[in-house]
Amino acid sequence: MTSRERVLAALDHKTPDRVPIDLGGNQTGIHKNAYRNLVAHLGIKDEVRIMDAVQQLAAPCEELLERFHVDTRYIHAGAPSSWTGGIVRAERDGRVWHDLTDEFGVRWSMPEDAPYYMDITLHPLANAKLADIEDFPWPKGDDPTRFAGLRERALRIRNETPYAVVSGISGVVYEICWYMRGLEQWFCDLLTQPEFCAAMLDHTLKFWLDWFRLFLDEVGDVVDVIMIGDDLAGQNGPLFRPDIYRQIVKPRQKRLVQYIRSRTNARIWYHTCGSCMEFIPDLIDNGIQILNPVQVSARNMNPAELKRRFGNQLAFWGGGCDAQHVLSRATPAEVAANVRENMRALMPGGGYVFNNVHNIQGEVPPENIVALFDTAYEFGFYS
């Protein structure tokens, strides 16, 4: 099979020749520090290029992707030409910060003396009232300059390589709201002023409906997998009450998913970390076909049980290794054993694409990363 055939067979719950392997997305990537150590360990010459500033993810080079038998290649839309943002240095509280203000007015910051990730340091609607939402300068999702050159990049992968075409992260209807409001305040809002939350969600939904209208005009016939997502769960369960999700958030997510599915045959994956078992039936009802990252170390996220309950309706993308307790702390042999255990649960009958649980973090030893992917390749053949 070609890589694209392999990925599509797995996502259609058919048995491919081997489990497809993924690396390089916004939720399946590798931190710059781990990448730097990994290419040095493998003797690959490559400079670190940041593909996700907030998470400080490196763009993997082709030589590394081929070394690990990766079956996916990613395409990303950009910011509009009118956006003047970028990373700037600023001094606050006696420290130097690298600040990035996104289109929604959210400021993400990374201290220069601890350059690991960016965290939010400014929520533009932290003190807003309901009337302020309509007056906020919401960005335009359908600015055509976002998609300049996107079709050409997608067609190059489709026509000149054997790989599956996967989109970067998009469709973040829910999380953007708490980015703009502040997490604690947003959770209070869900309980005390749901009409405020609904108004914000309507604006983020409109942004993404407009965004996808142009995105699908450009590459709806080329892209194989579309990545959307909003974190709904934490280590031990839902981050907020599921009944509130079903009343306020779910209808808007479902509208977006159904619109995407009306315009393309691409499979739709949904990203949520944590113990999300309670939300899985809702995601299936929304029209989601793939769940990522399959956080096997969270409560009620046993991979065998997930496969038993939902494996006929949902493909799993991730879940390859316990990223919290094994990948960064164990020996390569222990990493390999954990990979085999999780794959044994998730791979039968197709419906599985291999990746770590979320991004490979900066402190993960290169030997463990090699064990992760080499075991997935060697153990992943079905015959």
Which domains, ranges and CATH numbers included, belong to the chain? 3-82+125-379 (3.20.20.210)
Amino acid at residue number 210: D
Quick one: 184 exposed, middle or buried, by C-beta within 10 A (0-12, 13-18, 19+)?
exposed
Tell which residue, 75, 288, 78, has the closest CA to residue 173. 288
What percentage of residues in the chain have a pLDDT greater than 70?
A: 100
CA dist 92 and 110 (Å) reads: 12
Checking if the pLDDT of 84 tops 90, the result is no
Cβ atoms within 10 A of the Cβ of 340, count?
Answer: 16
Q: What is the mean pLDDT of the chain?
A: 97
Contact of 165 with 154, CB cutoff 8 Å? yes
Q: Tell me: the pLDDT tens digits for 122-137?
A: 999 999 999 999 999 9
Place of tokens 């929604």: 104
- Measured CA to CA in angstroms, residue 321 lies from 65, 80, 157, 172, 285 at distances of 19, 37, 28, 26, 28
Amino acid 378: pLDDT: 98
Query: What average pLDDT does the segment 259-280 reach?
Result: 98
Query: What average pLDDT does the segment 176-189 reach?
Result: 98
DSSP code of residue 77: -
Per DSSP (E only), the strands in 84-136 are 87-92, 95-101, 107-111, 119-122
Place of tokens 């309670």: 278
In angstroms and rounded to an integer, the radius of gyration of the C-alpha atoms of the chain is 20
Residues in the chain: 383
Question: Token digits for 42?
Answer: 């493998």
Q: Tell me: the pLDDT tens digits for 200-223?
A: 999 999 999 999 999 999 999 999
Checking if the pLDDT of 238 tops 90, the result is yes
Amino acid 85: pLDDT: 83
Amino acid 250: pLDDT: 98
Checking if the pLDDT of 95 tops 90, the result is yes
Q: What pairs with residue 87 in β-bridges? A: 100
